[in-house]
Chains A and B, each alone.
Chain A
C-alpha cells in the first residue's frame, strides 16, 4: 500500500499497464512533452518514449478515430480528452463507430477514453461538464466513474483490459483532494461492481464520482444511520447491489454532479421503483445539478452544483419522511 492522490492513482494504473503490456499506449493533446494538462502522464514520455505517449493535434475526432483503428489492429489505446467537454467533437467516432463495431461486425474495440470531468473550480460551461449520461445511453460503451484513489487505479486497469470501449470519467475536483491507500503493483477492480462505502440501515445514498465524498461527509456530520453505495461503474450498473441496499433501507437518495434529466439518477430511480417498490418507505429522490450549463461565476456555480448542505438537507428530509 502507498498513499496516493486520485490523480496519482490514475497515473500509477496507466503506468503499470504500459509496463505490463506493450500493446498499451496513450495519446492525446499535450500528454507527451508537457505531461498532460493535469499532469496525469507526467514523465511518461521519458519512460516509454514518444512512440507510446503520442502528442496529437487538437482534433478529438481524430484522437478517437485513431484509437479505434489501433484497437482493431490489436493495440490497447488509452486516449485522453483534455477536458471531458471536448468529447462532443469525437462523438460520432465513439458512439457510432467504437460502440457499434462489435454488434455490426463482431470486431472488438479494446480502448479507453479518459474524460477529466466535473466542475467546482470556476471553469465555466466548456470545462466543467459531467457528460457520462450521453455514453450510458449509447449501447456498446462501458462507463466507469471512480471516487477513490484505489478505484481510480483499479478501475483504469480493468478498463484497459476490457475488450470493449470504456469511458473513464475522472473527476477533476477529486484529482488532488482525494487521497487514500492504493495497492502497489497489480491492482484491478472489476467493472460492474458497486462498493459499499458506508453501511447503514435508515437511508441509502447511491452516488458516484464527486458525490461519494460529499455523501460520506454528510453522513458523518449528520451522524445518522446512512448507507452510502458508490456505483463505481455506471454501465453496466450493479443492479443487485442497488436493489439489495434499497430493499434494506427503504429510502433512496441518488446523488450526482451531472445534470438531472435522463441522467444516471433517473435510471437508478426507475430500477428501484420497478424492482424494489414493495420495500420503499419514501419517494426515491435525486440530488443533482439542475439542467443548466455550469456558470463561470463562483457563487452561481456553487448554486448549481450540489453542495454539502444540499446533501445534508436531502438526507434529513428523507430520514424524517
Chain B
C-alpha cells in the first residue's frame, strides 16, 4: 500500500489506489465513506475499492480534512492513480460549511429514547375490556410504552365518575373454553310480526289448564333428551310391495287367531333382525360408557288421548312376525285401557314410533333416553317410482313409506345409522316369510 505526500501544496496529502497484490493492476471505487470536508483520522477508512478478487478498505495515510475526491464510485483506475486529496494542515473541530455530521445513533429501547408509536396495538385484555364497556379505543390516550393503551388506562376510565362508557354486559362471556363459568342464557326473545314477542302479561286472554302429570313428565323427558343427546335424523325410502303382498297373504289366518297384522309388525320384525347385526343401535349411554344390550327390548310408542306412552316388548329377538304382531296388539290394548304395569314401560333398548297411521310422511322423533335411537314408521303411500323393468327403467306404482330414524351422534356416526337403515330396508323390500 502506498500513499504519499505529493508535490502540491505542502499540506495536501494524496490518497492513491494502492497495490493490492502482485497480480492486481487496477481497482474500482465502490463507495466513499467520507465526503469532502469530513474530518478523517489517520488509518480511518475513506473508501471501499473492489478488484476482481476482493474488496479492500482504503485507509487514510494521515489525519486531516478530506479536500477533494478525484475518482467517483463506479470508476476503475490503475494502481497508483490519485483518488483524493487530504488537507493535513486542517484542525479537527473547525466547522467546515460542507462538513458531514453523523446522525446520533438511535436510542436504545428502554433508555428514554424515542419509542415507536404503539398506540394502535391493543393487548388481549384491552380489547376485551373495550368491547365489554363499549369503549372506542381510538379516543383513549395510552400511558404505556410508545403510547400503548394499558389495562390501567381503561380501568381508570371506567372508574372515573361521569364516564360515558356503557356498563359491561350483564352476562360476561367465559374467558376461555375451559372456564367452569357458564352464564345462564338470557330468556330467548323470539320475533313475531317484526315486533318483540308479547311477554306473559300481554298474551291474549285464554283458558288456562295445569299440565296433567303425564304431560309434564313427557315435557320433562323430551327436553331432557334434546339437551342430552346429539340428535341426528336419517331417512330411507322403502318400497313395501312385498310386505303388502305378505300381509295380504298372512292377514286372514292371523286374524282368525285374534291377531291383527299391521305394517308396524313387519317393520318391528325387520328392525329387531337388523339390531342383532348392528348392536350399537341396541345400546344406551351411561356416563362415558356405551352399554351394548344382550336383549332387544323393543319399545312401541302408543298415542293415547292423554299423551304418548311406550310399552316395551321384552326379548323381542325371540319373537316371530306373528309373535311381534300379537305383542304389539296386546300392549297397545292394555295401554289404551290404562292397564299397563310400571314394568311394561321400563327397560326399553330401542323404540319404534308410528305416527304414519295418521298420514304423516316425515318426522324427526326425539330419542327415548338413555337409548341411542328411535325409528319412525310413516304413512304407507302409493307413489310412482322408477323401478328396474325388463326393458330397463320403468315407472311403477308402489306402496312407499319413509323410515325416519333419529340417532344419537354421541354413540354412533351417520354411516352406522345409514347401514342399519339400509339393512332394515333390504329386509322389508325383499320380504320373505321365515
Q: Is A187 an interface residue (CB 8 A)?
A: no
Q: Is B262 an interface residue (CB 8 A)?
A: no
- Complex interface bits, B164-200 against A, C-beta within 8 A gives 1, otherwise 0: 0000000000011010000000000000000000000
Given that A202-B152, A321-B148 are contacting pairs, would A281 and B126 also be in contact in the complex, using a CB cutoff of 8 Å? yes
Identify the interface centre among B110, B125, B150, B152: most chain A CB within 10 Å of its CB: B125
Stretch touching chain B among A26-34, A161-169, A177-185, A271-279: A271-279
Given that A279-B125, A280-B123 are contacting pairs, would A317 and B176 also be in contact in the complex, using a CB cutoff of 8 Å? no
Closest B residue by C-beta to A249: B151
Closest A residue by C-beta to B179: A275
- A321 to B145, Cβ gap below 8 A? yes
The total of chain A residues at the interface (CB under 8 A) is: 15
B91-123 contacts to A, CB under 8 A, are: 110, 123
For A127, the chain B residues whose CB sits under 8 A away are none
Q: Is B73 an interface residue (CB 8 A)?
A: no
- B176 to A278, Cβ gap below 8 A? yes
Interface contacts beyond A281-B150, A317-B110: sample of 18 additional A-B pairs, CB < 8 Å, sorted by A: A202-B152, A250-B151, A275-B175, A275-B178, A277-B176, A278-B124, A278-B125, A278-B128, A278-B176, A279-B124, A279-B125, A279-B128, A280-B123, A280-B124, A281-B123, A281-B125, A321-B144, A321-B150
Pick the contact of A250 from B110, B125, B176 — CB < 8 Å? B125
CA distance A277 to B124 in the complex (A): 6
Question: Taking the nearest CB of chain A, how far is it from the CB of B300, in angstroms?
Answer: 48
For B145, the chain A residues whose CB sits under 8 A away are 320-321
CA distance A320 to B144 in the complex (A): 6
Chain B residues with a Cβ under 8 A of chain A:
110, 123-126, 128, 144-145, 148, 150-152, 175-176, 178
Pick the contact of A282 from B123, B128, B176, B178 — CB < 8 Å? B123
Q: Is A247 an interface residue (CB 8 A)?
A: yes
Question: Taking the nearest CB of chain A, how far is it from the CB of B90, in angstroms?
Answer: 45
Given that A278-B124, A281-B126 are contacting pairs, would A247 and B151 also be in contact in the complex, using a CB cutoff of 8 Å? no
Identify the interface centre among A247, A275, A281, A321: most chain B CB within 10 Å of its CB: A281
- A278 to B150, Cβ gap below 8 A? no
CA distance A148 to B383 in the complex (A): 85
Question: Taking the nearest CB of chain B, how far is it from the CB of A245, in angstroms?
Answer: 14
Closest A residue by C-beta to B148: A321
Q: Show 25 A/B contacts (Cβ-Cβ < 8 Å), sorted by A.
A: A250-B123, A250-B125, A274-B176, A275-B175, A275-B176, A276-B176, A277-B176, A278-B124, A278-B125, A278-B128, A278-B175, A278-B176, A279-B128, A279-B175, A280-B123, A280-B124, A281-B123, A281-B124, A281-B126, A281-B151, A282-B123, A317-B110, A320-B144, A321-B144, A321-B145
CA distance A307 to B178 in the complex (A): 37
A70-94 contacts to B, CB under 8 A, are: none
For B175, the chain A residues whose CB sits under 8 A away are 247, 275-276, 278-279
For A317, the chain B residues whose CB sits under 8 A away are 110
Identify the interface centre among A274, A276, A278: most chain B CB within 10 Å of its CB: A278
Closest B residue by C-beta to A277: B124
Chain A residues with a Cβ under 8 A of chain B:
202, 247, 250, 274-282, 317, 320-321
8 closest Cβ contacts across the A-B interface? A281-B151, A281-B125, A281-B123, A250-B125, A250-B151, A278-B128, A278-B124, A280-B124
Closest B residue by C-beta to A279: B125
For B152, the chain A residues whose CB sits under 8 A away are 202
CA distance A202 to B143 in the complex (A): 14
For B150, the chain A residues whose CB sits under 8 A away are 281, 321
Question: Taking the nearest CB of chain A, how far is it from the CB of B310, in angstroms?
Answer: 45
For B148, the chain A residues whose CB sits under 8 A away are 321
CA distance A321 to B123 in the complex (A): 11
For B126, the chain A residues whose CB sits under 8 A away are 281
Question: Taking the nearest CB of chain B, how far is it from the CB of A282, in angstroms?
Answer: 7
CA distance A91 to B362 in the complex (A): 67
Question: Taking the nearest CB of chain B, how far is it from the CB of A145, in angstroms?
Answer: 26
CA distance A275 to B176 in the complex (A): 6
For B151, the chain A residues whose CB sits under 8 A away are 250, 281
Identify the interface centre among B145, B148, B150: most chain A CB within 10 Å of its CB: B150
Closest A residue by C-beta to B178: A275
Pick the contact of A280 from B110, B125, B144 — CB < 8 Å? B125
For B144, the chain A residues whose CB sits under 8 A away are 320-321
CA distance A196 to B324 in the complex (A): 70
Question: Taking the nearest CB of chain B, how far is it from the CB of A225, in angstroms?
Answer: 10
CA distance A280 to B126 in the complex (A): 8
CA distance A282 to B145 in the complex (A): 11
For B123, the chain A residues whose CB sits under 8 A away are 250, 280-282
Question: Taking the nearest CB of chain B, how far is it from the CB of A240, in angstroms?
Answer: 10
Question: Taking the nearest CB of chain B, how far is it from the CB of A190, in angstroms?
Answer: 21
Closest B residue by C-beta to A282: B123
Question: Taking the nearest CB of chain A, how far is it from the CB of B138, in angstroms?
Answer: 18
For B178, the chain A residues whose CB sits under 8 A away are 275
Question: Taking the nearest CB of chain A, how far is it from the CB of B214, in angstroms?
Answer: 46
For B110, the chain A residues whose CB sits under 8 A away are 317
CA distance A202 to B156 in the complex (A): 13
Identify the interface centre among B110, B126, B128, B152: most chain A CB within 10 Å of its CB: B152
CA distance A277 to B123 in the complex (A): 9
Question: Taking the nearest CB of chain B, how far is it from the CB of A276, in angstroms?
Answer: 7
CA distance A275 to B178 in the complex (A): 7
CA distance A320 to B153 in the complex (A): 12
For B176, the chain A residues whose CB sits under 8 A away are 274-278
Identify the interface centre among B124, B144, B145, B148: most chain A CB within 10 Å of its CB: B124
For A280, the chain B residues whose CB sits under 8 A away are 123-125
CA distance A139 to B74 in the complex (A): 67
CA distance A277 to B176 in the complex (A): 8
CA distance A317 to B144 in the complex (A): 10
CA distance A202 to B176 in the complex (A): 22
For A274, the chain B residues whose CB sits under 8 A away are 176
For A275, the chain B residues whose CB sits under 8 A away are 175-176, 178
CA distance A276 to B148 in the complex (A): 20
Closest B residue by C-beta to A247: B175
CA distance A274 to B124 in the complex (A): 12
CA distance A250 to B178 in the complex (A): 18
CA distance A280 to B128 in the complex (A): 10
CA distance A282 to B151 in the complex (A): 9
